[in-house]
């Protein structure tokens, strides 16, 4: 199987600043081929105070990616955790679906990479990608100078990974079980629901339990959800994240993303276009709006490689969909 990396965008301005939140839109052409994953990288230098009390990836508040007019990834974090030493919500989601987030352990030498599995086969000679990227602000008085880069990894994949549009619903205080209907986008024949990412609006674990009605009456607590989720790209150790205060030698592991939960649906085939969740809050929790993001996989014909250019290296690619299932089932 041929693997190649193609840079599709680079500049020095698509970066977070201390002036406030930032929003950027990017659109560029790209060659045909099997897009195994998309990679975002920021490399640069910050002052002695770093970029936040957390890490550089924690400053990404939203990311939406589109190929040829078809949206395949859309996620917005409902809580800013850049002031806390914990895994951020985008990073947790990316790891849940078989990707990874890696960061250099340094307050001043910034090097962050986010690799998101895609599995989309682009055909024809005129292809286009679009990205909408949002940031939280840098910490007060902090600076960042460097490059933002976007790369396409052409390779192979057994299926497309789709992070669809989210559904939101207010969940009342403790003692009331509430039904939340999660809309599942229609991506064509063969699409399966691998899981749902559920998140609240505050940086706290206010979920008591959730029942996925198509799977029966089993009440999934946060303890169960976090136990069933681990076993994917991080070898069963949970989520990995950069924490300078905890370990200067490498990324550290955690068993939870506070306020966010990956609910396994084991490739559910839903003909109704929705999934019903019964959600209950913990004692003392106030009214909170929850957002549910469906994760789908779609067969893609298992095409391989970039269709332009010369490639000599070979390697072994992993299936994003199987990574999701391994994370849910192991």
CATH of the domain at 68: 2.60.120
Of 243, 216, 233, the closest CA to residue 330 belongs to 233
Helix, strand and coil content of the chain, in percent to the nearest 5, comes to 10, 50, 40
> In this structure, are 14 and 103 located in the same domain?
yes
Pick from 142, 158, 174: which residue ends a domain? 158
Task: Tell me whether residue 249 is in a domain.
Answer: no
> In this structure, are 99 and 225 located in the same domain?
no
For the chain, 330 residues long, give each residue's pLDDT as a single digit of tens: 589 999 999 999 999 999 889 999 999 999 999 999 999 999 999 988 888 888 899 999 999 999 999 999 999 999 999 888 889 999 999 999 999 999 998 888 999 999 999 999 998 889 999 999 999 999 888 899 999 999 999 999 989 999 999 999 999 887 789 999 999 988 777 889 999 999 999 999 999 999 999 999 999 999 899 887 754 444 556 788 887 665 555 677 787 899 999 999 999 988 788 999 999 999 889 999 999 999 999 888 655 555 433 333 334 444 444 445 444 433
Task: Tell me whether residue 244 is in a domain.
Answer: no
Pick from 138, 158, 178: which residue ends a domain? 158
Tokens coding 162: 């789709």
Pick from 132, 158, 184: which residue ends a domain? 158
pTM for the full model?
Answer: 0.86
> In this structure, are 153 and 139 located in the same domain?
yes
Task: Tell me whether residue 238 is in a domain.
Answer: no
CATH number at residue 194: 2.60.120.730
> In this structure, are 43 and 153 located in the same domain?
yes
> In this structure, are 210 and 123 located in the same domain?
no
> In this structure, are 100 and 90 located in the same domain?
yes
Predicted pLDDT at 309: 35
Question: Can you give the residue range of the structural domain that contains 286?
Answer: 160-232+259-299+320-329
Give the count of domains, the chain: 2
Predicted pLDDT at 185: 86
> In this structure, are 176 and 325 located in the same domain?
yes
Asked whether 254 and 66 are in contact (CB, 8 A), the reply is: no
Q: How far is CA 55 from CA 97, 111, 140, 212, 233, in A?
A: 21, 10, 14, 34, 20
Predicted pLDDT at 307: 45
> In this structure, are 42 and 171 located in the same domain?
no
> In this structure, are 114 and 170 located in the same domain?
no
Predicted pLDDT at 124: 83
Predicted pLDDT at 316: 42
Q: E strands within the chain? A: 4-11, 22-30, 33-46, 60-67, 70-76, 100-103, 109-122, 127-135, 144-154, 159-163, 167-171, 178-183, 192-199, 207-212, 219-220, 239-241, 252-254, 260-268, 274-281, 288-299
Task: Tell me whether residue 237 is in a domain.
Answer: no
CA distance 30 to 70: 14
Task: Tell me whether residue 8 is in a domain.
Answer: yes
Looking up tokens 């975002």, which residue turns up?
40
> In this structure, are 123 and 20 located in the same domain?
yes
CB atoms closer than 10 angstroms to residue 227:
12
> In this structure, are 64 and 147 located in the same domain?
yes
Task: Tell me whether residue 82 is in a domain.
Answer: yes
CA distance 96 to 323: 8
Task: Tell me whether residue 104 is in a domain.
Answer: yes
> In this structure, are 174 and 270 located in the same domain?
yes
């Amino acid at each position: 199987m041929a693997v190649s990396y193609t840079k599709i965008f680079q500049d020095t301005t698509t970066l977070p600043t201390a002036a406030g939140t930032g929003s950027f839109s990017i659109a560029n052409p790209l060659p045909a081929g099997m897009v195994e994953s998309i990679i975002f990288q920021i490399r640069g230098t910050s002052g002695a105070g770093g970029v936040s009390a957390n890490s550089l990836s924690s400053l990404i508040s939203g990311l939406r990616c589109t190929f040829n007019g078809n949206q395949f990834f859309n996620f917005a974090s409902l809580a800013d955790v850049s002031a806390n030493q914990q895994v951020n919500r985008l990073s947790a989601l990316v790891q849940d679906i078989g990707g990874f987030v890696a960061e250099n352990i340094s307050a001043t030498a910034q090097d962050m990479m986010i690799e998101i599995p895609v599995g989309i086969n682009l055909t024809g000679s005129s292809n286009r990608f679009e990205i909408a990227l949002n940031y939280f602000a840098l910490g007060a008085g902090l600076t960042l100078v460097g490059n933002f880069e976007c790369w396409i990894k052409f390779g192979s994949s057994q299926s497309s990974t789709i992070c669809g549009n989210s559904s939101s619903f207010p969940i009342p205080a403790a003692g009331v079980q509430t039904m939340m209907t999660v809309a599942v986008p229609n991506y064509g024949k063969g699409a399966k629901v691998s899981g749902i990412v559920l998140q609240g609006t505050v940086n706290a674990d206010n979920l008591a339990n959730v029942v996925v009605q198509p799977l029966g009456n089993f009440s999934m607590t946060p303890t169960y959800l976090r136990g069933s989720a681990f076993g994917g790209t991080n070898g069963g150790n949970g989520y990995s994240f950069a924490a300078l205060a905890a370990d200067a030698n490498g990324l550290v592991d955690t068993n939870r993303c506070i306020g966010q939960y990956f609910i396994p649906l084991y490739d559910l085939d839903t003909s109704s276009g929705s999934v019903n969740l019964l959600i209950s809050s913990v004692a003392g929790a106030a009214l909170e709006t929850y957002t549910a993001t469906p994760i789908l996989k779609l067969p893609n014909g298992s095409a391989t490689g970039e269709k332009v250019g010369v490639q000599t290296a070979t390697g072994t690619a992993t299936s994003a969909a199987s990574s999701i299932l391994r994370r849910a089932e192991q």
